[in-house]
Chain A
Amino acid sequence: MRVDPAAITIEEFGRRLRAGEITAADLTEACLDRIERDAARLGAFILVAAGEARERARLADHELASGLDRGPLHGVPLSIKDLIDMAGLPTTAASRVREGHRARRDAAVVAHLRRAGAVLVGKTNLHEFAFGITNEDSAFGPARNPRDLRRTAGGSSGGSAVSVAAGMALASLGTDTGGSIRIPAAACGIVGLKPALGEVSTDGVVPLSPLLDHVGPLARSVADAWLVYRALLGDHAPRPLTAAPLAAVRLAVPRPYFCDPLDDEVQDRFEQALARFRAAGVGVADTEIAHSKEIAAVYTVLGTSDAAAYHGPALDRMPERYSPAVRLRLEVGRYLLAEDYARALNGRRALRRAVDAALGDFDALALPTLPIPAPVLGAPSVQVGRSTQPIRDAMLRETQLFNLTGHAAVTIPCGLTRDALPCGLQLVGHDTGRLLEVALACERALGRG
């Protein structure tokens, strides 16, 4: 049976699967066809597990026919960022440093997905060791934006976002240390969820910063992100996600720092989304977050120190195996002082209090996910409003704070630029489940989902 793997959601597939209109084998084959056709030019995958995926899909169909239903992810083709262990396969982290690695067991999150009946189609491309947000520095070449191959897919989970946006999987598992789920999701026009810190296991995931690392889904809809998120917690029979009543939702918009400067078109799409929310009855008010001007300093000192601590021995033994840009940024971390790390920990606590205070009684913060549309690959800097900023600074500006504070954060698509490049709207809250109820309502107010 023919199916468009770039259009179908997990929810819709589940309905059609159980109605006997489609099989897991049909959908898996459609995804593998897309991989065969497009994955190389998009730089989406590092390893495709076609044989195992076909076998798992057939098993899923057989199980369902035999009366065994594993839940919402039964027979659903998913991809896995190649920073996450799958037993028997290499975890390359997109680096030559990892040559010869083979995972002895599944990461905890992969084990959960297998128990949920998911069909894992392969390992996706990323910025080397997840230490970057453009996906340019990968031993396997860059991941390219399906909307415009000259542009970045965002990173570090760039291949994951491409795989979902281009119909190679219905959802993907990514990691997020400063925005690495939300940034590529926004750049590619899909949903990306960073659950609250510590909710989802990072066992079996190559670390970047234990303080800041999160694992979460990239998906086509908020409802699909919810289903994958619940599976990652071991909940294979989740309650249906219900949208928060729009008239009861209250959003706070942190204007200073986060909304100034923005690319003009990003700002327009963001303001139009807020206007749609207001028209639907949502309460929208401005707020500000204390210590915002110190976010980049706190984040960079903690993240770079942690990364240098992990990579130090390999930097000494095999520096030539790192891509030059990644190696240099790791080397900087080796010069940082313990006293500055302690100051950054003070800053992290202060920022957590500041975000809590800004959230107050609001349901969520609302802000852009990226201040710019996906930039051209190789560009060292970008124009944001009237200022020119290094690409890395600009792309992390809206997201890195919530890795420091550990709040749940999700990006949903909120429109396209004149060049058809996606813009993302980020929602941030205390509780992941409540946040997704609000995100579902907002998604519907924007005419999606």
Chain B
Amino acid sequence: MTVQEWREWARADAKRRQLPELEPLLESMAALLETLRTADFNPSPTPQSEPPEQRSAG
């Protein structure tokens, strides 16, 4: 689920639960999730994000 998909899902559910006041908080959280997901401390299985020394191995 992308952050955009998460935002839409959460907003729709908040609306269903009659909690429209959540919307600005969900927007703020979406921005934090973008920051979290793009941080370089996240390991990844894709070769381009591996450190150079691992990229040439095996």
Contact = CB atoms under 8 A, between A and B. Distances in A.
Contacts, number: 62
Nearest to A342: B42
A301 B3 CA distance: 14
B37 A343 contact: yes
B22 A347 contact: no
A328 B32 CA distance: 17
Judged by DSSP, the binding face of B is: helix
B57 interface: no
Given A296-B32, A301-B36, A346 B41 contact: yes
A340 B26 contact: no
Nearest to A296: B32
A336 B29 CA distance: 9
Interface string B6-41: 100110011000010110011001001101110101
Contacts of B36: 294, 297-298, 301, 340, 343-344, 347
Contacts of B9: 335
A294 B29 contact: no
Contacts of A336: 29
A300 B36 CA distance: 10
B20 to A, nearest CB: 11
A350 interface: yes
A329 interface: yes
Contacts of B58: none
Nearest to A348: B41
Contact of B39 (A294, A304, A324, A328): A294
A357 interface: no
Given A300-B32, A335-B13, A347 B41 contact: yes
Nearest to A329: B25
Contact of A340 (B21, B33, B43): B33
A133 to B, nearest CB: 16
Contacts of A331: 14, 19, 22, 25
A150 interface: no
A291 B38 CA distance: 11
A332 B22 contact: yes
A300 B39 CA distance: 15
Given A328-B21, A340-B37, A346 B42 contact: yes
Contacts of A346: 41-43
Contacts of A239: none
B41 A350 contact: yes
A222 B1 CA distance: 49
B6 A337 contact: yes
Contact of B25 (A298, A301, A332, A350): A332
Contacts of A301: 32-33, 36
Interface in A235-290: none
A346 B43 CA distance: 8
Contacts of A332: 22, 25-26, 29
Contact of A343 (B25, B26, B42): B42
Nearest to B26: A332
A298 B32 CA distance: 8
Contacts of A293: 35
Contacts of A340: 33, 36-37
A346 B36 CA distance: 10
Contacts of B29: 300, 304, 332, 335-336
A337 B9 CA distance: 12
Closest 8 CB pairs of A and B: A350-B41, A297-B32, A297-B36, A297-B35, A335-B10, A294-B39, A332-B25, A346-B41
8 contacts: A293-B35, A297-B32, A297-B33, A328-B25, A331-B22, A335-B13, A335-B26, A343-B37
Interface of B: 1, 6, 9-10, 13-14, 19, 21-22, 25-26, 29, 32-33, 35-37, 39, 41-43
Given A294-B41, A298-B36, A332-B22, 19 more contacts: A291-B41, A293-B35, A294-B39, A296-B32, A297-B35, A300-B29, A301-B36, A324-B21, A328-B22, A331-B19, A331-B22, A332-B26, A335-B6, A337-B6, A340-B33, A344-B36, A346-B41, A346-B42, A349-B41
